[in-house]
Amino acid sequence: MRTFILLLSFFSVTATAGESTIFLKDRPGKNQVIVKCAMCHSLDYITMHAMILDRAGWVKTVGKMINVMGAPIDNADKEIIIDYLAKNYGR
Ligand code: HEC
């Protein structure tokens, strides 16, 4: 029992530590999202909107970041990022 509790606290500590650095799902496209989307705001903006936005919503949001906010993201990266967000953080 004692070992079990120790193990449990070990896991909760590592989970919290991981979250503060890179907590996005480890799938293709993650690097582009980290590089391109974290320059102006925290990546929390993405996880906070997961399950609210569907693919069309992410297309619109990423478009807004580029056209309104001026995010320097080229078309190739845009497609990769939208795909990543829709698959992993889509409704
Ligand atoms: C050039 C700076 C910049 C970059 C780069 C940027 N954003 Fe944003 N983003 C903003 C600003 C500023 C806001 C706050 C807008 C507001 O309050 O209306 C915002 C808000 C958001 C929101 C909140 C919802 C909304 O529509 O306001 C989401 C989600 C978001 N960004 C996602 C992203 C994603 C995904 C990327 C990468 C593709 C990204 N951002 C890159 C500037 C940026």
Radius of gyration of the chain (CA): 16
Give the position, in ligand 1's atom list, of the atom nearest the Cα of 62: 38
Of 5-9, 34-38, 41-45, 85-89, which range is least confident? 5-9
pLDDT tens for residues 22-34? Answer: 589 999 999 999 9
Which structure tokens are listed for 68? 């309104």
Query: What pLDDT is attached to residue 19?
Result: 44
Query: What pLDDT is attached to residue 23?
Result: 84
For atom 37 of ligand 1, the residue with the nearest CA is 37
Question: In the predicted model, is pLDDT for residue 9 greater than 60?
Answer: no
- 36, 45, 49, best to mutate for ligand 1 pocket (most atoms within 8 Å of CB): 45
For atom 22 of ligand 1, the residue with the nearest CA is 45
Query: What pLDDT is attached to residue 13?
Result: 43
For atom 16 of ligand 1, the residue with the nearest CA is 69
Q: Are 65 and 37 in contact (CB under 8 A)?
A: yes
Question: In the predicted model, is pLDDT for residue 18 greater than 90?
Answer: no
